[in-house]
Amino acid sequence: MQRFQSYIGGEFSDGEARFESIDPATGAAWAEMPEAREADVDRAVEAAHNALYEGPWSKLTATQRGKLLYKLGDLVAENAQKLAELETRDTGKIIRETSAQIAYVAEYYRYYAGIADKIEGSYLPIDKPDMDVWLRREPIGIVAMVVPWNSQLFLSAVKIGPALAAGCTMVVKASEDGPAPLLEFARLIDQAGFPAGVVNIITGFGPSCGAALSRHPKVDHIAFTGGPETARHVVRNSAENLASTSLELGGKSPFIVFADADLESAANAQVAGIFAATGQSCVAGSRLIVEKSVKDHFLEILKAKAEAVRIGSPLDMATEVGPLATRRQRDHIEALVARSLAAGAKLITGGNALEGAGYYYRPSILDCDGSASPSLEEEFFGPVLSVLSFETEAEALALANNSSYGLAAGVFTQNLTRAHRLMKGIRAGIVWVNTYRAVSPIAPFGGFGLSGHGREGGMAAALDYTRTKTVWLRTSDEPIPDPFVMR
Ligand code: NAD
């Protein structure tokens, strides 16, 4: 069995306890992970604290920080295949996607490498004579980063990259469901030459490790990605340390198809939006809202595509849909499909798990027209599409906005003015028009409503890891006049 270690204060070590990680393709344990509990969390936060205030990190110039980030980007690119294999083994996400995604993660580090010495303060045209006043942008401090199991290297890069560019130090908690790629990534942090304690990487369980980290008194900011229920715990924990939070949560994203759209292209985008990554994507286009006149035809195309999907070992380059990451996830999907069918949804295809080892579930489509299916509101985080139809543009928009989530949306139409009206009207942090599931380090990512707040990616994300300090400098040599009047 492979063994992984945590990375605290520049040293690799075993945790206070250990736990086994399951290969979701077989359901069998394949690796041993270090379980951090309160004492390890404490050591990691102390290491980050020392690195921020005492170590060489605080004395580096922003350009030097950028150079370390470039080195890290290169190392990620060089080691992408190895990291991809680990992520595939530990989470079941297909190798076809992990290898491409992790190679692209390198670009996130390179993007933030370039930003490190472009974070500028400002000079204020103050309304008082003989006074120079300016704003310094300083690192927000020690950041706790808590990530889920899907796309861990990507979801951590959008936090670690801007936080390092801003000069922060951090403790990253890898998900207990598949921490291998992040624990291995710690070796690249070490190799890149970041001073000890700047980035600490641990893993452990939510109620012990995650809770201890998010309420730690020395944590200044919590960057969290996960489900809304867990986010509520995190926000409650932050009542202890009053840390600021950024929350990237779930979604129930609408995917709107008008009759004038290129239906073949829209169907491919819909497959990417709901079956890619076995639907375990926060931006999954999980609610298809299709114009009634093309509903049957579009569903025929989709059904054929869903049934032709190659399901198999995630380590095989030909596989298109791999297993779900955990048994818990498969059980949740089975239960939600059963509740939806009981509420009147009609099964178009799929609707069951595969026999045999591993947590496989068939790509599935539920026709929810005329029903109050819970699948229209609750997140599956799996390969299950819920379908509704509309007759007017206003109806399409109302259906799209009928969700407590607001992460992403897709609009498929050839009508330019309609596309503009919808992109303004949809309440979501990302709108894709005639495309879906495209991301870039240059483009901010984040949601509205139950999908959280805060944006990852782009320049603004680096600024979010800073806080301003206002400096007042009196330039007069005259003694300060009347001390009883506020200046
Ligand atoms: P989760 O919420 O169960 O867990 C996320 C992380 O929180 C894990 O590391 C877990 O250990 C930790 N955690 C659990 N309890 C905690 C507590 N009490 N205090 C502190 N930390 C705690 O999520 P998951 O099942 O691993 O991932 C799936 C969810 O993540 C989905 O809802 C999905 O939509 C969301 N997600 C969002 C985005 C985004 O960018 N918006 C991206 C990917 C996933």
Q: C-alpha angle 84/87/93, rounded to 5°?
A: 95
pLDDT digits (tens, 9 = 90+) for 406-447: 999 999 999 999 999 999 999 999 999 999 999 999 999 999
Rounded Cα distance, 115 and 165, in Å: 7
Give the mean pLDDT of 366-390. Answer: 97
How close is the Cα of 150 to the center of ligand 1, in Å? 9
**C-alpha closest to that of 398 among 430, 367, 378, 426:** 426
The pLDDT score that the predictor gives to residue 15 is 80
282 included as an active-site residue: yes
- 456 given a catalytic annotation: no
The region, left, alpha or beta by phi > 0 then psi within -120 to 50, assigned to residue 8 is beta
Question: Cα(146) to centroid of ligand 1, in Å?
Answer: 8
| Whether residue 115 has its Cβ less than 6 Å from ligand 1 | no
Q: Is 379's C-beta closer than 6 angstroms to any atom of ligand 1?
A: yes
Give the model's pLDDT for residue 16: 81
Q: What digits encode the pLDDT tens for the residues 192-251?
A: 999 999 999 999 999 999 999 999 999 999 999 999 999 999 999 999 999 999 999 999
User: pLDDT-based confidence at 399, cuts 50/70/90?
Assistant: very high
Q: What is the pLDDT of residue 441?
A: 98
486 pLDDT exceeds 90?
Answer: no
The answer to whether 306 and 363 are in contact (CB under 8 A) is: yes
Instruction: Write down the pTM of the prediction.
Output: 0.96
Q: How far is the CA of 147 from the centre of ligand 1 (A)?
A: 6
Measured from the CB, is residue 282 less than 6 Å from ligand 1? yes
Rg (CA), the chain: 24
Per the structure block, which two tokens stand in for 413? Answer: 């139409």
Percentage of residues of the chain with pLDDT beyond 70: 100
Cα distance between residue 451 and residue 244, in whole Å? 17
Quickly state the pLDDT bin for 485 (edges 50, 70, 90): confident
